[in-house]
Structure 1
Amino acid sequence: MIGIIFGSFIPLLVLGVPIALCLVLMTIFVYVDIGDPRLFLQIPQRMFSSTENLLLLAIPFFIMAGEIMNRARITDRLMDLSGALVGWIRGGLAHTNIVASMFFAGITGSAVSDTVAVGGIMIPAMKEKGYEEDYSAAVTAASSVVGPIIPPSIPMLLYASVMNVSIAGLFLAGILPGILVAIFLMGTAYIVAVRRGFGERAPFVGIVNLLAAVVRSIPALLLPAIIMGGILGGFFSPTQASAVAVMYGLAIGFLFYRTLSWRDIAPILKHTVQATAMIMFLLACAKSFSWLVSYYNLVESATLAFVALTENKYVFLLLINILFLILGMVLDMGFAIIVLGPLIAPIAYTYGVDPIHFGLITCVNLTIGLVTPPFGLVLFAACGVSRVKLMPLSKAIMPFVAAEMVVLLLITYVPFFTMYLPRLFGYA
């Protein structure tokens, strides 16, 4: 069976067949090898049943909320606030870029969306102020990692639906690690700015201007507060919170900022449908493969293999980090979560790792993979926004990737950073 899986999946992937179709075709090949025609009836059944989870409705709503905020040019207000907060530090525009990504993370939950939205504004601004183009693109790409870590997060929604883990607990677990990533990236940006002479230190804008920037940004900043406050306060479920986010985004876009028009609705819906269809089709196709995991006892076999390698929990976590970082570079994040989550998470539980903690480790690992050269998806998005070639960008981003890996080790081996808030609110 293993020979059929690798002998069919890898060639199909190399030929450019979409990952979702690779999964279905590979499953069909294994069913043919088993020789039971009744199994083929399971494929459409499992594909449809995988999309019946109510939690999955949150995915299109959060995607739509992020697109609404982007179309409403909320990024401009967040940029102003970020500049007022940290623009006075040496290398100020790089810090502004990072903090803006942190604010924007509470709206979109997507690394690629953050790269395009923030990069479209910040990369030209940094170039104008004398920052090298590859460095500007590297800061933008690296800081976009915060997007899927700070809630709301599309990868966390996927993980929660697949692994039956509390989405509120996962959202809470991502807050402190997301802030840690931003702090470490700012520290790296400061060191690079001093060494390479980027961005002379600017004067502080003053309390009055800072307060004015805060006031202008309050409607945008309230969105993540409404989402998390509503979920934790029991006012609505995560799915209902996503719908509230859409309504709130439309309200401030049309009524408060008045930057949305009716002509924006069609592009917003088109982007939402495209992104949602891609995620849901991948989830449906992966579900047909999940039967093979249980039929061939792959979880038990993988558990025995890991235990044979080591019985030490910390060595196991190191091996998992290495594995996920490598896979995150070459595999779609959704695919990795949907297929590998059910296979590896039960092994982690046998080592005594908390389900929420392991879910956060998984999401952060795969997110860092998005910006790790040479195949990270966000790198290509940054290249498209900045028109920088991949090799210079890969070289410029490595100090930031190293900083993110330090944070990954911290959240892996110091559970306090991930588990403090979930335990405080009773989710762990």
Structure 2
Amino acid sequence: MLLLIGAFLGLMVLGVPVAVAMAVASIAYLLAYDVAPDVIVAQRMIAGVESFPLLAVPFFILAGNLMNIAGVTGRIYSFAVALVGWMKGGLAQVNIVGSVIFSGMSGTAIADAAGIGTIEIKAMKDHGYSTEVAVGVTAASATLGPIIPPSLPFVIYGMMANTSIGALFLGGVVPGAVMTLFMMATVAVFAYRRGWGSDTPFDARKLLAAALEVVVVLAFPVAAYALVWAGLSQNLAIAIALAALLALDWWLDFSAVMALMTPVILIGGMTLGWFTPTEAAVAAVLWSLFLGLVRYRSMTLATLAKATFDTIETTAAVLFIVTAASVFAWLLTVSQAAQLLSDAILSITQNKWVFLILVNLLVLFVGCFLDTIAAITILVPILLPIVLKLGIDPIHFGLVLTLNLMIGLLHPPLGMVLFVLSRVAGLSVERTTMAILPWLVPLFLALIAITFVPELTLWLPRAAGIAR
């Protein structure tokens, strides 16, 4: 155990990439103790990535890339400006609302920060906000990406914990709304204390137009349900409602109705049993292609090829991490390290609330040093048996774990969102870190609420009948 964990931590201190550190530590342990034949190790590596739920990873990454090149980010930003830009601290509020919408398409904090975050930071700086403020609010809002469905970390966690990914997706809706409200309240406090004004004049027509778009999107499931109640089959009712929506969108040329429909289609399709979460990722890609090639006609073969190659590059990196982490986690189990760590935790407490506090402290620390996917792959086999023994719902635990790791993305030394925004804004890592610190307050408040009020997570999955 000391060799395995010590070699891993030592390589991390030397600056070796996480996946390479896990792979080298695993190889060193295998050479030293010869615990399994080479073929078994190869089988464990293949088993780590040979999973149907993992197919969602490249498709959700591709959907996010396609949304970026389809010009959807600009439309989302314009919609958010019309909806909340007139408030005090308007563009900061726009930043949060834009991230909420984009989160329903991309599923990753990094895609959010690098995509719509680039537009938001430039706009805020142009309107007189300091670079630090623009970076801070963008970093905080980017954490919504993996909480509001769809979510790549939920896919990895669901696979590792053998938990319904659909239930995890639904479980993220209310916590995502809570985080959004906390962040918007924080902007309001900053606006009051620093004298921020509105960034766009109040325009009743634009506000009504934005509100109408929201109403149209919400009316879609209502109309489909009404047609089913009137006697039409479910598929025919949804086809008619969707055709009416497309016709209305073409006629009135809405700014963001089609983008707003993305989470409705994904969550609705999974709830109705049309497709699994993995198949929902394919549906997200098809919807992105429809928007870029047919509705907005903003995609070209060149941009489509670039999005594809970017997806291949990102997917390869993710799967390399999953492969290395799978072998590392397996060796933690074989070496009894996982059992020893589990026993150590249970010797401290068998109260589930104290355990959750300890988990928050542990994962907040781990999230500063480990990639999100690697952390989930390593921690779940250690912590999940304790979670089940203490009667904690694995869906609730998945939300707590993921939010902790999202906060870790904002911290040095390995916070990816921190480095992305540092590059986008042209700030040093040190200045970017200091800019983010005040915006951690609403995230920690949301973490406390989600940790100690499980119903925030479990109410919607239970209402939908896919959780106990």
TM-score category, normalised to shorter length: over 0.9
Q: CA deviation at 1:425?
A: 0.9
CA contact (8 A) 1:137 1:388 kept: no
Which residue pairs with 2:262 in the alignment?
A: 223
Write the deviation string for residues 121-175 of structure 1: whole angstroms up to 9, x where unpaired: 1112111111111111111111100001001101111111111110000001111
- Match for 2:138 among 140, 145, 160? 140
Distance in 1 (alpha carbons) for counterparts of 2:195 and 2:37:
64
Distance in 2 (alpha carbons) for counterparts of 1:194 and 1:303:
47
Distance in 1 (alpha carbons) for counterparts of 2:334 and 2:311:
35
Q: CA deviation at 1:43?
A: 1.9
Q: How does 1:242-281 map to 2 (within 5 A)?
A: 242-281=281-320
Amino acid paired to 2:139: A
Write the deviation string for residues 315-349 of structure 1: whole angstroms up to 9, x where unpaired: 11111001111111121111100111111121122
Q: Does 1:329 align with 2:368?
A: yes
Distance in 2 (alpha carbons) for counterparts of 1:290 and 1:209:
51
Amino acid paired to 1:222: M
Structure 1 residues 373, 135: closer, same or farther in 2, change over 3 A? farther
Amino acid paired to 1:30: Y
Distance in 2 (alpha carbons) for counterparts of 1:183 and 1:204:
22
Higher mean Cα deviation, 110-119 or 211-220? 211-220
Amino acid paired to 1:89: M
Q: CA deviation at 1:235?
A: 0.7
CA contact (8 A) 2:148 2:173 kept: yes
Q: Does 1:241 align with 2:280?
A: yes
Write the deviation string for residues 278-312 of structure 1: whole angstroms up to 9, x where unpaired: 11111112222233233233333223211211122
Q: How does 1:4-403 map to 2 (within 5 A)?
A: 4-36=3-35, 38-200=36-198, 203-207=201-205, 209-211=207-209, 214=213, 215-372=254-411, 375-403=414-442
Write the deviation string for residues 216-263 of structure 1: whole angstroms up to 9, x where unpaired: 211111111111111110011112111111111111111111111111
CA contact (8 A) 1:373 1:394 kept: yes
Structure 1 residues 39, 182: closer, same or farther in 2, change over 3 A? same
CA contact (8 A) 2:63 2:106 kept: yes
**Residue-pair matches, total:** 426
Q: CA deviation at 1:373?
A: 5.0
Write the deviation string for residues 365-400 of structure 1: whole angstroms up to 9, x where unpaired: 101111135652211111111112233332232221
Distance in 2 (alpha carbons) for counterparts of 1:402 and 1:62:
30
Please state whether the residue corresponding to 1:216 is helix, strand or coil: coil
Distance in 1 (alpha carbons) for counterparts of 2:210 and 2:154:
34
Question: Which sections of structure 1, spanning at least 5 residues, go unmatched?
Answer: none
Identity of matched residues, %: 40
Amino acid paired to 1:4: L
Distance in 2 (alpha carbons) for counterparts of 1:427 and 1:376:
34
Higher mean Cα deviation, 93-102 or 392-401? 392-401
Which residue pairs with 1:419 in the alignment?
A: 458
Distance in 2 (alpha carbons) for counterparts of 1:201 and 1:283:
44
CA contact (8 A) 1:329 1:375 kept: yes
Write the deviation string for residues 66-102 of structure 1: whole angstroms up to 9, x where unpaired: 1000001101111111112211211000000010001
Higher mean Cα deviation, 384-393 or 195-204? 195-204
CA contact (8 A) 1:135 1:393 kept: no
CA contact (8 A) 1:31 1:39 kept: no
- TM-score, L = length of structure 2: 0.88
Higher mean Cα deviation, 194-203 or 56-65? 194-203
Distance in 2 (alpha carbons) for counterparts of 1:188 and 1:17:
37
Q: CA deviation at 1:212?
A: 5.5
Distance in 1 (alpha carbons) for counterparts of 2:131 and 2:410:
17
Distance in 2 (alpha carbons) for counterparts of 1:203 and 1:20:
50
CA contact (8 A) 1:170 1:359 kept: yes
CA contact (8 A) 1:78 1:104 kept: yes
Question: Which sections of structure 2, spanning at least 5 residues, go unmatched?
Answer: 214-253
Please state whether the residue corresponding to 2:256 is helix, strand or coil: helix
Distance in 2 (alpha carbons) for counterparts of 1:21 and 1:375:
14
Amino acid paired to 2:360: N
Distance in 2 (alpha carbons) for counterparts of 1:31 and 1:356:
34
Distance in 1 (alpha carbons) for counterparts of 2:34 and 2:367:
34
CA contact (8 A) 1:325 1:366 kept: yes
CA contact (8 A) 1:173 1:419 kept: yes
Amino acid paired to 2:400: I
Distance in 2 (alpha carbons) for counterparts of 1:423 and 1:372:
34
Distance in 2 (alpha carbons) for counterparts of 1:375 and 1:295:
28
- TM-score, L = length of structure 1: 0.95
Distance in 1 (alpha carbons) for counterparts of 2:434 and 2:104:
29
Distance in 2 (alpha carbons) for counterparts of 1:17 and 1:41:
27
